Amino acid sequence: MTEKTITTNVRVYDYNELNSEDKMLVNLAREATKSSYAPYSHFHVGSALLLDNGVTIKGANQENAAFAGICGERSACYNAGANYPGVPIKKIAVTAFTGGDFVKEPCSPCGVCRQALVEFEVQAGKPMQVLLAGRDKVYILDSIKDLLPLTFSEF
73 is catalytic: yes
Count the neighbouring beta carbons within 10 Å of the beta carbon of residue 119.
17
Do residues 86 and 47 touch, judged by C-beta distance below 8 A? no
Given 3, 21, 31, 73, the catalytic residue: 73
- Which residues are known catalytic residues? 73
